[in-house]
Structure formats: C-alpha cells, structure tokens
Amino acid sequence: MPPNVLTLESTAQSALDILPEFQRKCGKLKATPSSMLPSEILCFMGACRQAGIEKIVESGRSYGYSTECLALMGFDIISYDYNPDPNTDARLFRYNNLVMKKAPCPVVVSAAPKFGLLLDGPKGVDALSIVDQSNPTVVGIHDMAPKNPARIRVDQMQWVTTDRLNPCEELDREHLLSRGLQRSVLEESFVLAIAQFIH
C-alpha cells in the first residue's frame, strides 16, 4: 500500500471547505443507529473532493445514510451490500447517480481512472485486505475505534482517524444525544480511518 498523503490539517480543511454544501444538501438526512456519523461522511467526501474524485465504490449500505449523502453531493456511486434493506433500496432508487448491488463487496475493487472506496461492511482486517488488493485513490474504513485490533495497522500507516480530528463535532451532537451516547463512545465504536494515496 503506498504511503498516505493526508494530514489531520488537510483533512479538516477539506471537510470545512464542503461543510456549507453538506449542510444545504444533506442537513435534513437523519443518521441512523447503524450509520456513520455525519462528521465521518463529511470528512470522507471532503478528502474525495480535494483529490478530484467523482466515482465512489461503497460497501455497506444498510439504511442508506452514507449512500444518500454521497448521492446528494453528486458523486457517481456503486454501492454493494449483501443483505440490503429493501425499503431503503426502494427509497434510494430515484438517484440516477447510484447503482445498488445486492452482493458482497468484491475482493478486488477497481474503477477508472481514480475512485474513492468507502468500506462500512466488511470492516477491520477484512476491509484492509480489500484495500491491499485494490487501487483506490482515497479510502475510508469505518469502525476503526482505538479498541479495534485493525486500528494498530492504520496507525502504523499514519492514516487520519476522525477521533483525532473532529472539525465539526456539532454535526454529531444530535445523533449521539438521540441515542443517549456521549463522544467517549468513540473509544469503543465509530471512527472513520481515511487515507489518500498517490499511485
């Protein structure tokens, strides 16, 4: 895997750059109990925009929060889920920039000329194995909290992790409060690990 070129500062800045557009287009969407946090998908999309990426391959759609944010922000998406929610897929069907697959994430993901890869199922070492065999320009892997064993590897590779970043903590407040959670939950779960590679 090539070295990561993102820094905490550049990732925070690219998230802040797209924050007004994110609030305008995605502000009404509700994160769900199983979804990524708003600040996490914001950071991923900021990094993708910064890298000039238009195409995203996502795995792990579930109730569609991350997928719909990507669609509303205008990315061209292929989304895999081997056990998708039928009602969600019916709701998302209206986006003509989204192709939904009911299938496992491929072991090797490829899209030309450059693409972002967002993995929220599979997770951990399985997600890292897909990144090892694929050639994304930007990658995000969810649920890389400090207690996740795979976190050691992303820390060694100096990926950016959103628990160290948090440019837009306010965005997550409503979501965490509605679930009776505090930010200390980020020790146990959540946390997006992000990297950008120059191939």
Ligand X SMILES: C[S@@+](CC[C@H](N)C(=O)[O-])C[C@H]1O[C@@H](n2cnc3c(N)ncnc32)[C@H](O)[C@@H]1O
Distance of CA 133 to the CA centre of its chain: 19
- Under the binding rule (CB under 6 A), the answer on residue 189 touching ligand X is no
Phi and psi, residue 81, nearest 5°: -155, 130
To 5 degrees, how large is the angle CA 56–CA 179–CA 139? 20
Alpha-carbon radius of gyration of the chain: 15
- Under the binding rule (CB under 6 A), the answer on residue 81 touching ligand X is yes
- Under the binding rule (CB under 6 A), the answer on residue 104 touching ligand X is yes
- Under the binding rule (CB under 6 A), the answer on residue 120 touching ligand X is yes
Closest-by-Cβ residue to ligand X is: 121
Stretch that binds ligand X, among 42-50, 118-126, 158-166, 183-191 (CB under 6 A): 118-126
Nearer to ligand X, 5 or 99 (CB): 99
- Under the binding rule (CB under 6 A), the answer on residue 14 touching ligand X is no
Strand-by-strand arrangement of the 76-81 sheet: 98-102, 76-81, 55-59, 115-119, 138-142, 192-196, 160-161
Interaction site with ligand X (CB under 6 A): 32, 34-36, 59-66, 80-83, 104-105, 120-122
